[in-house]
Amino acid sequence: MSVLVVGSVALDTITTPFGKAKDILGGSATFSAVSASVFTPVDLVAVVGRDFPKKYINLLKNKGIDLTGLKKEKGKTFRWEGEYGWDFSNPKTIATDLNVFGKFDPIIPKAYRKNKIVFLANIDPEIQEKVLNQVDKPKIVACDTMNYWIETKRNQLLKLLKRVDICLVNEAEAKELVGETNLVKAGKKILKLGPPIVIIKKGEHGVLMFSQKHIFATPAYLLESVYDPTGAGDTFAGGFIGYLAKVKKYNQKSLREAVVYGSIMATFAVEDFSLRKLQKITAVDVRRRLNKFKKLTNF
Amino acid sequence: MSVLVVGSVALDTITTPFGKAKDILGGSATFSAVSASVFTPVDLVAVVGRDFPKKYINLLKNKGIDLTGLKKEKGKTFRWEGEYGWDFSNPKTIATDLNVFGKFDPIIPKAYRKNKIVFLANIDPEIQEKVLNQVDKPKIVACDTMNYWIETKRNQLLKLLKRVDICLVNEAEAKELVGETNLVKAGKKILKLGPPIVIIKKGEHGVLMFSQKHIFATPAYLLESVYDPTGAGDTFAGGFIGYLAKVKKYNQKSLREAVVYGSIMATFAVEDFSLRKLQKITAVDVRRRLNKFKKLTNF
């Protein structure tokens, strides 16, 4: 079963304590799509400018990602520049140039509209809703968001949350969204906003997943060298949704497994700049790390 | 199998966003001993002043804790005053009055010296070593410490670490002890200081346990209402060591189980001020929460 991924494709300039990289491939849809592609075919909807390097197009193509929905517009590709300190938590944004992404008005190709699984990666919630309006009865709709939308488009985001099955947020976003410092209370409050499943990503501290009947908690796979955390959350989401598409089951068991697979995919993303490592990951690598993860957490 | 617990017994004055409590029972040995007592008999070595309330003596007696080693000295009991903000991480110390604890020079009662399991709760590492010098060939020695000793008695602490089997620290202490921001690297570096087992307590984010061959990661049991985190780490250690004493096995499996039991004990400690809740906990309560924990983490 294929998945539809809609979000941003960007060129990032990133500084970490280990070095700086300029105009490298980034964007919420990029990480999500490449991560999901390890499990299942992916239909991508996004926009880039005329300056978008051919090598990055090839990278996506090589992952088997369908690019019918990747529009090339006149102008420059969306650019983000950020800097991380030693703690690798929240990056400092140095510059954001929306460029062609500022006018992103996604038209979902006809062949994509029948996708049963839709992932609305982090973009303006109004655009996320426009996408939803174009797809035929999807079975699972998941969305991500960020503090910027929580602060500037709260009402539009709340409207969207009533229409999705799964809401993915990080720890700070969860707390901000419902004004609650306790994460368990925050997760439960977000459930009340609409989505039957709420996933809170805690980075190196793992993931929590909430539903009416269950809570699931898992630690993260442990890494000795985090190189660049950009895209970790998007990669998690891609692995999560990709796994659900692969197993074609949607229950507590498959959701928990999907969280673990998503977590493992995210670890590959942070071990190098951009998608340098993630793009090379195969099902065999994932299986190997899953086995290590089981040994790490089993009691 | 009984355990020997040596540390502080204190009267705490604690302010949290939920309220303030004055001269309530606290201290590293108190929380550890009461927590361990749910699993196994406990021999306690500590010192209090003449002002130490009879009701607290009775509380410890009612838990079956042997108080032969609890000395009552002329003077006042050790007092600590602290304040927590909403995030419940590091408390602000308002006042520390060592009182009789300032001259604590523990004499281990003869009947205690044959204990095979010794827990050196958080006190001056020189005193911890003096205790070690008085016990006959213990099988398992575990120690806790804190940032204050890492900063002011580093050499004494490093000397102690060469003699213990298990070192327990929290996240910030682990990083400070070896000057390393990555927790996996920090855990491995602490192993190199001597202890074959290193446990890093991450509070609401769970626990990591390191040994030469294995790493174990577990999330924390989730709580909606944290009332007062004082003593959580000590309670963890008590449950951990108490469980090892109960099962009389010392291998990777029993150590992992002990970590989970310790985590569960800690959750009871933080749900009310002081030991108000913890003192009432029975093996049945622990078993019930363990089952919930398994449901929470199983995938």
Nearest chain B residue to A201 by CA: give it.
Answer: B205
Which domains does chain A possess? 3-297 (3.40.1190.20)
> Residue B223 and residue B270: Cα distance in Å, rounded?
9
Q: Categorise residue A19: left if φ over 0, alpha if ψ from -120 to 50, beta otherwise.
A: left
Helix (H, G, I), strand (E, B) or coil at A12: strand
Interchain contact, B184 vs A222, CB within 8 Å: yes
B208 interfaces chain A, CB cutoff of 8 Å: yes
Nearest to B5 by CA among B240, B280, B249, B201: B240
Q: Which residues are registered as beta bridge partners of B218?
A: B207
Mean pLDDT of all residues belonging to chain A = 96
Judge contact between A115 and A41, C-beta under 8 A.
no
> Residue A276 and residue A267: Cα distance in Å, rounded?
13
pLDDT tens sequence across B247-295? 999 999 999 999 999 999 999 999 999 999 999 999 999 999 999 999 9
> Residue B49 and residue B51: Cα distance in Å, rounded?
5
* Chain B residues touching residue A219 (CB < 8 angstroms): 205-206, 217-219
**CB neighbour class for A176 (10 Å; exposed up to 12, middle 13-18, buried from 19):** middle
Q: What's residue B61's pLDDT?
A: 98
B94 interfaces chain A, CB cutoff of 8 Å: no
For testing the chain B interface, which of A209, A213, A222, A263 should be mutated: the one with the most B CBs within 10 Å?
A222
State the pTM of this model.
Answer: 0.93
Q: What's residue B89's pLDDT?
A: 73
Residue A18 has pLDDT above 90, yes or no: no
Judge contact between A242 and A236, C-beta under 8 A.
no
pLDDT tens sequence across A191-224? 999 999 999 999 999 999 999 999 999 999 999 9
Q: pLDDT-derived band of residue A90, with 50, 70 and 90 as boundaries?
A: confident
Q: pLDDT-derived band of residue A281, with 50, 70 and 90 as boundaries?
A: very high
Interchain contact, A299 vs B259, CB within 8 Å: yes
pLDDT tens sequence across B144-167? 999 999 999 999 999 999 999 999
What interface predicted TM-score (ipTM) does this complex get? 0.89
pLDDT tens sequence across A100-144? 999 999 999 999 999 999 999 999 999 999 999 999 999 999 999
For range A36-61, the mean pLDDT: 98
